[in-house]
Amino acid sequence: MGSQNRDKKYKRILLKLSGEALMGELGFGIDPKVLDRMALEIGQLVGIGVQVGLVVGGGNLFRGAALNAAGLDRVTGDHMGMLATVMNGLALRDALERSNIKSRVMSAIPMSGVVDHYDRRKAIRSLERGEVVIFSAGTGNPFFTTDSAACLRGIEMEANLVLKATKVDGVYSADPMKDPNAIKYDHLTYDEVLDKKLEVMDLTAICLCRDHNMPLRVFAMEQKGALLSIVVGGKEGTLVSESQETSE
């Protein structure tokens, strides 16, 4: 029996997809094969009645800090990064709609005629109708990240869990891409992440979750079926929460 036959544990989740995840094997841009796979996996969640909000990154196209290092003004670079997330959002919506999954893109930066301007109440109503809501343009402000945007929108949407899909399969004692001896944690408190300076997410994002008691699970999107497994109660990746017993 697959996890499809089990009951969902969460009514509403906020899933953060990094821009790099959309790039797949390509060095830049968006891989349509990856988009289709994500649409399939997200469709499985919608299929069992989970309400799904998505925050999409932009690192596959532009990052403000990298543009700044190359000589551009930082705020201009961050604006470019946020616009990149809108492009990714449009691509994701296209893939979801091709899979017959109703979805809408909202942007923190008004972009009349292209996508809707972010409106919390409208977003919640869409989620309640079973539509996937893609939150783009991050927080709308420079010097923030889409991880912080994911935690912010997760808290605003009163999601039961924020999920960070990334390249590594959880939070480790050190960056596992650099340290082969790093050990994976099953659970961490927010303060442990901060005290141990674990860099899987920026501090603003972790502090937001801590201050609003929003549980967070870090997992590898590459692992097929992990997403569905988590929403039915699987323990993939690492849970960051107030205590291990905290009901997510």
Ligand X SMILES: Nc1ncnc2c1ncn2[C@@H]1O[C@H](COP(=O)(O)OP(=O)(O)O)[C@@H](O)[C@H]1O
Residues that bind ligand UDP (CB under 6 A): 18-20, 57-59, 63-65, 77-78, 81-82, 84-85, 138-139, 141-142, 144-146, 149
Window of 43-51, 77-85, 113-121, 193-201 that interacts with ligand X by CB under 6 A: 193-201
DSSP percent split of the chain into helix, strand, coil, nearest 5: 40, 15, 45
Nearer to ligand UDP, 189 or 204 (CB): 204
174 binds, among ligand X, ligand UDP, none (CB under 5 to 8 A by kind): ligand X
Alpha carbon distance 218, 135 (integer Å): 19
CB 201 within 8 A of CB 214: no
CB 19 within 8 A of CB 61: yes
Nearer to ligand X, 60 or 107 (CB): 60
| The one among 7, 73, 175, 191 contacting ligand X by CB under 6 A | 175
Alpha carbon distance 104, 125 (integer Å): 12
Report phi then psi at 104, rounded to 5. -140, 150
Question: What's the min distance (Å) between Cβ of 65 and ligand UDP?
Answer: 6
DSSP three-state, residue 232: coil
Question: What's the min distance (Å) between Cβ of 50 and ligand UDP?
Answer: 22
CB 151 within 8 A of CB 138: no
CB 13 within 8 A of CB 160: yes
Residue 145 among known ligand-binding residues:
yes
Alpha carbon distance 36, 94 (integer Å): 10
**Does 176 help bind ligand X (rule: CB under 6 A)?**
yes
**Does 31 help bind ligand X (rule: CB under 6 A)?**
no
Residue 172 among known ligand-binding residues:
yes
Q: Tokens in use for 69?
A: 């290092």
Question: What's the min distance (Å) between Cβ of 210 and ligand X?
Answer: 17
Question: What's the min distance (Å) between Cβ of 11 and ligand UDP?
Answer: 25
Q: Which of 2, 18, 8 is nearest to 163 (CA)?
A: 18
Residues contacting residue 125 through CB under 8 Å, at least 6 positions apart: none
Residue with tokens 């292209």: 114
| The one among 9, 11, 20, 222 contacting ligand X by CB under 6 A | 20
**Does 18 help bind ligand X (rule: CB under 6 A)?**
yes
Question: What's the min distance (Å) between Cβ of 19 and ligand X?
Answer: 7
**Does 168 help bind ligand X (rule: CB under 6 A)?**
yes
Question: What's the min distance (Å) between Cβ of 199 and ligand X?
Answer: 4
Q: Which chain residues interact with ligand X by CB under 6 A?
A: 18, 20, 59, 166-168, 171-172, 174-177, 198-200
Give the residue ranges of the annotated binding site for UMP. Answer: 58, 78, 139-146
